[in-house]
Amino acid sequence: MIDILYFAWVRERVGLPRERVETSAATVADLVEELKAREERYEAAFADLRALRVALDQELSEFTAPLAGVREVAFFPPMTGG
């Protein structure tokens, strides 16, 4: 089981701020493919990975990163703080 968090317009497109999923995906990219296969709203949220960022256990990471041992995955657009 893994916690998935969504922020900003990713959250709006997916329609929820977080969910817990059962997955055997090896990498972040694999997890994205699983999600996209589930429903159209995921397809909309993950249409362009270049417009997205991912954090694994609250550290910025890459879509190629392995998911082994990870408890929390967060997807969001590029940050706009400051």
Note the residues at the interface with another protein (CB under 8 A): 5, 7-9, 11, 55, 58-60, 74, 76-82
Q: Least separation, in Å, of the C-beta of 82 and another protein?
A: 4
Of 18 and 38, CB closest to another protein: 18
d(Cα 82, Cα 72) in Å, to the nearest integer?
Answer: 25
* Distance (Å) of CA 48 to CA 24, 40, 54, 68: 23, 14, 13, 24
Q: Least separation, in Å, of the C-beta of 28 and another protein?
A: 16
Q: Least separation, in Å, of the C-beta of 10 and another protein?
A: 9
Of 25, 36, 9, 10, which Cα lies nearest the Cα of 64?
A: 25
